[in-house]
Chain A
């Protein structure tokens, strides 16, 4: 991988590239590498480890309460008698799964809607903007609270995700549309149009790459938005708190006032996990960002 990139880079850059540029390329490989490593670690660990235990981590009273860190309990046990380590593993898995699914849905919907609205314009744009504005202006939190009151306990965990999607796509769509509006008037777009490219080709080949940078960043944000919204809902008690997620660990830890009673592992473990997870996602996305920038040639 490294060789390939170096070759490509060598072909693109003039001879005698600055040390800085070289350093920059190494740094981006490293950034991407670290990010992908972290993500891979989390994904593999959280999706395969569950097969090694047949104890349901959400069951209470499986072990003695409040045990300290030991070989048997890598992160100790909490006040409900659960193993913090195993709970965390399942939590990361569920949160990741939810976050990725929701982010994919949201990104797809908002990009397509925003791009098409921004570029096509006319009646289509007006209708779409009406829809987007209606969804945006209705405040998320009270509606979420109301909807969760309807949904909570009655249906599956992924419906919580669906609700998040319903409210998450509008903002992104609006922003993408603004970007598309700006881009629409650029010279290269006109050129493409005069060259005979149809609308779809213009959207995907010309406009999309410019929007891509922002969209990738938005994608991580959305994953985190999804995970954090689910966590916020869980802290408020509005999600399915019996399903292990990063949010529900925090819900139970806060419910039992873990920081005060000295059960710090219970709170710190999920936070460290979240931070590392975000780090992984972030490094990956900015790594790719830099990679694409290098391909396009940098200033």
Chain B
């Protein structure tokens, strides 16, 4: 009889062993959400405490070893970024004229130079290769003269002159059918003619009045349409479209030292003559080496981050950051208080609706969707509350707030729907704080005071009122049936398809499912469908595929709203089930007043009060029609590890915004200091 029980005994033993093994694994993190140590990153962080206080198992890690990184450079001299994309498809294609080149390996920040850069913190353009802002030569704003700064050299010692710019423009025009960089098409449609005046001066004539000259030939937010290439290298190529330009001659202070032929990493080395580079003269870039590497999916790279194997992450999820902070005191998010992360990305998330497709063609239905969406709940479920809501169709940043948000505050408070209901909730932030405190977040992590709360969580959002939503839907014939699901006037259940990004954008994926969940609770039959990025683009751009979509259409960074709203014109509207790609007016919006406003603002000075006033009027129409349900600023979660480098930009040290893939990266490289840890 004893032997009969052997099998279950063995089983039991093995199962217990397995569970013990599973539980004995890494140092435990406290349940719940409190990062107990989120050190304020001031300039005087004591370097010696950091590595010692860090994970005690850090010592024998491959790159924490004291000496070399995995690519053979001294760790204390190498700044390591987690790449923006995982694996690049074309690791040896370093030719910026082809759209699929390995851009995310650091080219935009380290290798190229631009005529005018944009300070992503202020939204102002400043000259980089150019000596100054362009001189406008005629009243119609079509002819410009640009002077270049002398003393800039390519990394092979050849001087940068206007010849390179002219050559680049020539190449654009001659090869526009073969080059796949998006800027080629933009420039060839924008520029009419150009000529060299002397080695450091050239003139350009544009097709239309160009109030945005600086942001088209220079940088707008992220990239520039004009990528200047070295004439003395490219002119030797018979076919520039086929030219790989591997290990290129660069204008910036870094050159490519080594790269992974499989596309997972790239190593840059600082030029000896960095002062003569495009932006080196503005300050010494501190790291001798910069490595962009993919440390794997979040499950593995959080481990590597805690092991101090790299310094800056891109888009780690909020919960992982909290857990990492708890395990390693050298790791910190942007801010020690909620919402912990910088919210000044150029774009905002929102729900794009196909306004041609019934019942979404009625403003009441669109408003009902907005009122049936519990954004507080969605933010808590998907993002642990770390988000900044924005009720207007643009990002709520320090640049745009004074121009568009603050002046409209009163209007928002008083705004009423056709039945007199006032949907705006200015206490959104305070209520969110209340919910988070109830969930266990300590009070010292919360912003204190009305001002701080509004800065953190936004000026407000729409009320969560399913009852009012029901009333609105009822007014157009959509009522709840016996099961509590909304049905159309003809008796069929109202099925709402909601397309969301798949794994390729985890934050939006979670937000999307939470939104669908929220709508379902209100009684709407939502069919949430997650898609790959190719299909996402198709759904966004094709009427026949689009019902509702979670996306980021509103990318307005500087006060020039025309960059996103320029194409809200009737000629871009297509029939509701058209299979053709839409090329403008993404909102599928038909509003005569807005058409006129937009058209009128084409010919205005983009920094004039009149231009801003028109912008505010357009915003009012957006809200009245609920043409686009804007949700929140994109939360950019960029934690940093200060074991080897310190003085990253933080909330209390905001010398730049923390994005490592914008112009702010240049400022970051110039301001960080080595901690001296080996």
Contacts and interface: CB of A to CB of B under 8 A. Distances in A.
B517 A60 contact: yes
Contacts of A12: none
B8 to A, nearest CB: 6
Given A60-B517, A65-B439, A237-B503, A260 B380 contact: no
B19 A66 contact: no
Contacts of A262: 28-31, 323
B513 A260 contact: no
Contact of B31 (A61, A66, A268): A66
Contacts of B11: 279
B319 interface: yes
A261 B29 contact: yes
A56 B598 CA distance: 47
A34 B32 contact: no
Nearest to B513: A242
A154 B302 contact: no
Interface in A154-184: 154
Nearest to A58: B517
A74 interface: no
A241 B513 CA distance: 9
Contacts of B22: 264, 268
A259 interface: yes
B529 A30 contact: no
Contact of A149 (B3, B8, B322, B535): B535
Contacts of A152: 529-531
B7 A27 contact: yes
A251 B218 CA distance: 43
A26 B319 contact: no
A110 B530 CA distance: 33
A31 B7 contact: yes
Nearest to B527: A153
B377 A23 contact: no
Contact of B380 (A34, A65, A256, A261): A65
A156 B381 CA distance: 26
Interface in A215-243: 236-237, 241-242
B530 A257 contact: no
A interface secondary structure, majority: loop
A81 B377 CA distance: 10
A68 interface: yes
B377 A61 contact: yes
Contact of B529 (A154, A268, A275): A154
Contacts of B7: 27, 30-31, 34
Contacts of A198: none
A290 B22 CA distance: 34
Interface string A258-296: 011110100010001001000100000000000000000
A23 B377 CA distance: 60
Contact of A257 (B317, B516, B532): B317
Given A60-B514, A64-B439, A259 B23 contact: no
A236 B531 contact: no
A257 B531 CA distance: 21
Contacts of B502: 237
Nearest to A150: B535
A61 B317 contact: no
A204 interface: no
Interface string A65-82: 110100000000001110
Contacts of B19: 268, 272
A7 to B, nearest CB: 19
A254 interface: yes
Contacts of B322: 261
A116 B504 CA distance: 46
A153 B3 contact: no
Contact of A61 (B303, B380, B535): B380
B31 A68 contact: yes
Contacts of A254: 299
A260 B323 contact: yes
Given A262-B29, A264-B22, A79 B527 contact: no
A30 B11 CA distance: 14
Contacts of A66: 31-33
Interface in B512-560: 513-514, 516-517, 520-521, 527-532, 535
8 nearest A-B residue pairs (beta carbon): A153-B529, A262-B29, A261-B323, A60-B381, A60-B517, A261-B319, A257-B320, A237-B503
23 contacts: A26-B4, A65-B384, A68-B31, A79-B319, A149-B531, A153-B529, A154-B529, A237-B530, A242-B513, A242-B516, A242-B528, A255-B510, A256-B317, A256-B510, A259-B299, A260-B29, A261-B319, A261-B320, A261-B323, A264-B23, A268-B19, A275-B15, A279-B11
Interface of A: 23, 26-27, 30-31, 34, 58-61, 64-66, 68, 79-81, 149, 152-154, 236-237, 241-242, 254-257, 259-262, 264, 268, 272, 275, 279
Given A66-B33, A237-B530, 4 more contacts: A241-B513, A256-B319, A260-B324, A262-B323
